[in-house]
């Protein structure tokens, strides 16, 4: 199936008119809290844009780790981050958490949007907000707000953005004129990230070639004691099928460089896939990619094939044509969306498919072959050596 991939709400007013009419009081910085992983954080982008339009200033984001700063490095709807190293452990005896609380205290007069869907996460956030002296009437929690049937996660977040903390109901009321037109993530790249990408491609001897990225791992693939057994991972696709896919892409697009990509923790796993692939003289390799470099590569890549995981959402958000394999989750809720209008083809997913290994290789090859090219405005620049 091919996921519907709209980038704007039908019948909505244009972004220019929204920006000019959204703010009815003095601009103020919204604070957004989401202690999620890569995909969860990418799905926040339309909400962040909506809150920027509504309150007149870019958002401050409390998130786990330093990587969200790389993810949103070029985004105008974000003006800074408050990194939390871990959501576990004692609040009272953790100096890093005290620093987070003090950073929140400086923003205690702002509207707070807590996007934590699990009740247990709320119990970790509330003591921190109390320690920071953030009034309860400044806070809006998503957790009591139920999702609609077959509602996409982004649409749920955007509905949450229509809610107003009690302290701001008069000064910043929600009106239809500030409904966001963006319903799909659209991420950008900094010039420094482009320079790093081009230098890396030149060193690897790949500059100027079409790139096809294969993302075989997900957040559950690697455990503390090694690779999770395939029977215990509904997002695991057999190595021989990844190999057959890589060879088919190389035969179809012989000038391309195919890369099995992953994080540093996944390096051994993707190397094992390459070892199981009969590459011969084909241009098939592996690449451990830090987030900024992956983002910049996806800005110019020919396409990506991925399991349902964070880098798939990143590909769509960067305008890279994508085939994504779903196992035991519902695509209607979680399918990647592209704010650039690039193609997103979904294979599998509930209720028909419960495991990715139920998807055969021919389906994936056919889906990749029928991907339309990148939009003209998003086409890769000429990186050939002069």
The domains of the chain, with CATH numbers, are 15-178 (3.40.50.2000), 191-372 (3.40.50.2000)
The highest-confidence range among 17-21, 41-45, 97-101, 370-374, by mean pLDDT, is 41-45
Q: What is the pLDDT of residue 168?
A: 97
Per-residue burial over 24-48, b = 16 or more CB atoms within 10 Å of its CB, e = otherwise? eeeebbbbbbbbbebbbbbbbbbbb
206/189 Cα distance (integer angstroms): 20
Q: Which distant-in-sequence residues (6+ apart) come within 8 Å of 199 by Cβ?
A: none
pLDDT in tens, 224-259: 667 777 777 888 999 999 999 999 999 999 999 999
Residue 99, pLDDT score: 87
pLDDT greater at residue 358 or residue 228: 358
The fraction of the chain above a pLDDT of 90, given in percent, is 70
Q: What is the pLDDT of residue 276?
A: 83
Question: In terms of pLDDT, which residue wins out, 198 or 124?
Answer: 198
Binned at pLDDT 50, 70 and 90, residue 13 comes out as: very low
- pLDDT for 109 beyond 60: yes
Q: What pLDDT sits at residue 4?
A: 45
Write down the pLDDT at residue 119.
Answer: 78
Task: Name which of 126-130, 167-171, 195-199, 361-365 the model is least confident about.
Answer: 126-130
pLDDT in tens, 114-156: 999 987 766 778 888 998 999 999 999 998 899 999 999 999 9
Q: Are 216 and 262 in contact (CB under 8 A)?
A: yes
pLDDT band of 375, cuts 50, 70, 90: low
Confidence of residue 52 (pLDDT cuts 50, 70, 90): very high
Which of 80-84, 192-196, 308-312, 333-337 has the lowest average pLDDT? 80-84
């Amino acid at each position: 199936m091919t996921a519907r991939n709209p980038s704007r709400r039908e019948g909505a007013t244009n972004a220019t008119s929204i920006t000019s009419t959204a703010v009815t009081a003095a601009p103020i910085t919204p604070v957004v809290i989401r202690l999620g992983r890569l995909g969860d954080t990418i799905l926040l982008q339309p909400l962040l844009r909506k809150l920027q339009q509504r309150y007149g200033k870019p958002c401050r984001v409390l998130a786990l780790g330093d990587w969200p700063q790389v993810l949103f490095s070029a985004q105008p709807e974000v003006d800074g981050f408050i990194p939390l190293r871990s959501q576990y452990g004692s609040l009272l005896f953790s100096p890093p958490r005290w620093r987070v609380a003090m950073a929140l205290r400086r923003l205690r007069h702002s509207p707070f949007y807590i996007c934590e869907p699990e009740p247990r996460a709320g119990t970790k956030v509330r003591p921190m907000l109390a320690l920071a002296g953030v009034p309860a009437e400044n806070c809006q929690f998503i957790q009591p707000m139920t999702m609609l049937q077959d509602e996409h996660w982004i649409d749920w977040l955007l509905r949450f953005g229509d809610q107003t903390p009690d302290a701001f109901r008069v000064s910043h009321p929600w009106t239809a004129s500030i409904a966001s037109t963006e319903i799909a993530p659209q991420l950008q790249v900094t010039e420094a990230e482009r320079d790093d990408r081009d230098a890396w491609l030149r060193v690897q001897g790949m500059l100027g070639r079409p790139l096809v990225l294969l993302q075989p791992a997900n957040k559950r693939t690697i455990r503390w004691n090694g690779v999770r057994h395939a029977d215990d991972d509904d997002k695991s696709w057999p190595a021989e099928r990844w190999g057959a896919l890589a060879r088919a892409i190389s035969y179809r697009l012989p000038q391309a460089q195919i890369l099995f990509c992953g994080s540093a923790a996944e390096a051994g796993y993707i190397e094992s896939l390459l070892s199981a692939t009969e590459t011969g003289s084909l241009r098939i390799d592996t690449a451990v990619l830090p987030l900024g470099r992956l983002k910049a590569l996806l800005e110019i890549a020919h396409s990506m094939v991925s399991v349902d995981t964070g880098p798939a959402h990143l590909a769509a958000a960067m305008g890279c044509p994508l085939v994504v394999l779903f196992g035991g989750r519902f695509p209607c809720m979680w399918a990647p969306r592209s704010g650039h209008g690039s193609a997103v083809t979904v294979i599998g997913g509930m209720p028909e498919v419960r495991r990715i290994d139920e998807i055969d290789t021919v389906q994936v090859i056919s889906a990749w072959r029928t991907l339309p090219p990148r939009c003209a405005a998003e086409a890769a620049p000429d990186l050939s050596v002069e």
